[in-house]
Structure 1
């Protein structure tokens, strides 16, 4: 289908400010409005992109705009997503779908009945390197997936300075959604059992009520299993903001991936680093082409071309339930069945 789509963005924080960038850059999208509880922030972003702004989601619900991104903090997805879905809007919500299983169940049920399209932003599926691993499994090159290990952690500065709401989330809610989605997507399997262990104390001593680190064994319905690891207390001296590694064993092959090292390293007077590809920066031809921006464009395409998007709210519900099961396992010291969490 030709034409363009009017879109809006709810939540303009650390990552949310990237959504207007994408929609303002994409030829099939018209950025019409941005929304944030901080009026000065909303006004500033609106002036940058030449669009309207509001602090009230209710104004978006009653508008003629059909499609929205929701990029509020992890714990604050439910309200705006529910209101927009019930109004028949198309919604892309940042991961996790919610940090509460009952809320996730409700949103998945509303999405199933809504006339709008709904998806969760698991943007690592758009990374060509992870896609290559997925395709290697699908082609049979790896054989039957048997076991995996994946770690995604952040330097402590992320919890200390980047996220004012870190105490209402944690590394498991902020980072597990990505790697849990990846392993289920690559294995083509659903989690059925979870057993977790973790540590609290370092962040708590700084007034941040969050887990310092966590390890979780996830068993899938295919018989494969994976160990997930996350931390928010990696020293700031780490060469990369993130610490991400994966090893996967199949019946025919092993795959290992180090996502930290992008092929560039800087050794300067200030130290040694693996720089990120700069988010928010355009390439030499004036385009935003980082894979993290692809899901926003993808939702626009799905709406205009009437395609059902992947990364569904049902997948989002399962993701939230699995992370909640890890929390319950930490409390009980025992494995937790996903069927019990979802019942």
Structure 2
């Protein structure tokens, strides 16, 4: 059986809390061989090695205490069949994804794919030319409460989309603690809003045509960080439907869950609403106080067969595992073919995956909206239009 070698670029919150537990679990399941992690700082690698001894992580940088290009060294060391998992600040995604494609490695990139339509177009063109699988981790597609509305919509039970309200807000620890070094280069729209932009597209298949956005800077600037606290975006879709998207990352530290989030859509034949934070499964403990607990995202449970072992389950893992399984399938079905036949088979398989996965042809949708949204915010709510190629422009 083929096993994948994996490079994870980035040693921060997502890598520690989600990606390494998933990769370690899939290594035990016989799907992953070597795990390499690349970060800017050597001390980050050392801490991950100590926390995940079973993963047998090989990390970069190994010599210098800090090296912003350690990820390139890691990719030079990666052996096929290999996958590159990108979990870095949003503005670094494009360069790293394009580099990995040129090296011929399949890619899993944390959302958003990138920040501009121009870069998304480059990634789409390059990945198709090279026959490389590039998957954006829109894990909300795997939340069954949201897959349910997509099912009923596609079956015609909901009618046609009219309007939508989505919200995604997180505690202030995100910009103040985890992303302090780069949150000025992003915003809650780009980091959080991208999920529910993709969700509207995932449900309806419609394309965005007009964006109006506003953003506020009050709390973070008072703390010396020149970043948006919050944003509100009106997205007009190709059938005239309007989505109102509300984001922020400055909720109080004592908010009982990391994220307040939900999705509501009104259609001609039905309506759907879901609180994607409060799943009516809550704890109150001496250690953590009151906690709104989401058992469906990514949580450890006792393994049925090895009760002394944690088993991580949830849609946060399902999304990454789907991409790993796709890459395994591609490599298995091309393993015994000559170079030309393998390339043709890869292109054929990826073309099929483009219909059902957040590959660049789909991920470009949310990128177009966040780029247009940022343009509108900078101009204090000026309308931004998207042409047939999703290129944003002012009127």
TM-score in terms of structure 2 length: 0.81
Structure 1 counterpart SS, 2:212: strand
Partner of 1:148: 164
Partner SS for 2:235: strand
2:312: which partner in 1?
A: 288
Q: 1:58 to 1:268 in 2, by over 3 A?
A: closer
Q: Distance in 1 between matches of 2:285 and 2:299?
A: 24
Partner residue, 2:323: 299
Match of 2:368 among 321, 324, 336: 321
Q: CA RMSD in A?
A: 2.1
Offset at 1:336? 0.9
Conserved? CA contact 2:384–2:392, under 8 Å? no
Larger gyration radius, structure 1 or structure 2: 2
SS in 2 for 1:288: strand
Unmatched 5+ stretches in structure 2: 62-69, 305-309, 331-348
SS in 1 for 2:199: helix
Check 1:224–1:24 CA distance in 2 against 1; reply closer, same or farther (3 A cut): same
Q: Equivalents in 2 of 1:251, 1:318: separation in Å?
A: 24
Residues 149-158 or 284-293, more deviating: 284-293
Deviates more, 1:180-189 or 1:99-108: 99-108
SS for the counterpart of 1:96 is coil
**Residues 88 and 252 (structure 1), Cα distance of their counterparts in 2 relative to 1, 3 Å cut:** same
- Alpha-carbon deviation of 1:175? 0.1
Q: Deviations over 1:60-98 (max 9, x none)?
A: 333324211111122222232221111111000001112
Q: Distance in 2 between matches of 1:240 and 1:230?
A: 15
Structure 2 residue 291 is matched with structure 1 residue 273: yes
* TM-fit CA distance, 1:342: 4.9
Q: Secondary structure at the match of 1:99?
A: coil
Deviation at 1:149, TM superposition (A): 0.6
Tell me how far 1:250 sits from its aligned partner. 0.9
User: After alignment, is 121-130 or 37-46 more displaced?
Assistant: 37-46
Q: How many residues align?
A: 342
Query: Which deviates more from structure 2 when the two are superposed, residues 159-168 or residues 279-288?
Result: 279-288
| Residue in structure 2 matched with residue 61 of structure 1 by the alignment | 75
| Separation in 2, partners of 1:191, 1:200 | 26
1:85 to 73, 95, 101: 101
Unaligned runs of 5+ in 1: none
State whether structure 2 residue 214 is matched by structure 1 residue 190: no
SS at match of 2:226: coil
Return the structure number with greater relative CO, CA threshold 8 A, min gap 6. 1
Aligned partner (choices 261, 280, 283) of residue 244 of structure 1: 261
Equivalent in the alignment of 2:391: 341
